[in-house]
Amino acid sequence: MDFISGEIIGIDKPLGWTSFDAVKRLRGAIQRRLRVKKFKVGHAGTLDPLATGVLIVCTGRATRMIETLQNGSKEYIAEITLGATTPSYDLETEVDETYPWKHITRDLIEETLPKFVGNVMQVPPVFSAVKIDGKRAYNLARKGKEVELKAKPLEIKEIEILGFEGNKLTIRVVCSKGTYIRALARDIGEALGSGAHLTALRRTRVGEIKIEDCLTIDRAVEVIDNGPLTFPDDYRILT
């Protein structure tokens, strides 16, 4: 492994971890292995703490590829609960309203979902990292301040129904950078004449990196600790 020239590591981010938590853990392992106090490590495409799955971590000079990597299409498996909404559109906040949902059939869902495929405009969640006058929207929302966000263009390439039982809908989504699956859950609920929020999310692909190619955090640290090391020819210059 040549961490300085750059490695691209696919991580299966666990539930409850922030993307920064994962990067911090790997950075610490690399710093210990290289015996340095600072080292450049970053990630391509943030995952919320309540989401799991593919997180691309780049080291050294490979951090220059972050923008290119995060521009790749993404695939998600999402569980949506119909009949209730939350301010954050997921489980970060409590249910604020309930709606009828028993009128929703699989036929209605199959008729509705194609409306979201293609080039669409989506209003991001107020509980998001979108900036308003230099401040993160989620910080304003958590303080109870009114947040108004503008719709942004994005592309949803595929939506497939994987399961529908009771008020639980599971879908597979392939989409562009910048898509909020929480906001998609909100919009699907409204289109079905109800409300909805996201109750589980797993990212299964970013660009060409699939979930089956990824390592757990512990396995990645083990590889960093014990794998063979190589260095670029100009390593002395870098140090």
Give the confidence band of 46 by pLDDT, cuts at 50, 70, 90. confident
Q: What sign for the dihedral angle of Cα 170, 176, 181, 185? A: negative
Question: CA 166 to CA 112: how far, in whole Å?
Answer: 18
pLDDT at 238 over 50: no
Residues forming a β-bridge with 97: 85
CA distances from 213 to 11, 53, 208, 216 (A): 8, 11, 10, 10
Tokens of 47: 């995952």
DSSP assigned state of 6: -
- Strand 74-82 vs strand 84-85: parallel, antiparallel, or unpaired? unpaired
What is the per-residue pLDDT across 20-37, written as a single tens digit (0 to 9) for each?
999 999 999 999 999 999
Spatial contact of 34 and 27, defined as CB atoms under 8 Å apart: no
As separate numbers, helices (DSSP H) first and strands (DSSP E) second, the chain gives 7, 13
Mean pLDDT calculated for residue range 37-50? 92
pLDDT at 235 over 80: no
What is the per-residue pLDDT across 166-183, written as a single tens digit (0 to 9) for each?
999 999 999 999 899 999
What is the per-residue pLDDT across 118-160, written as a single tens digit (0 to 9) for each?
999 998 877 656 555 555 555 555 656 666 677 899 999 999 9
Q: What is the DSSP string of 129-148?
A: S-EETTEEHHHHHHTT----
Catalytic residue among 48, 96, 133, 234: 48
| 48 among known catalytic residues | yes
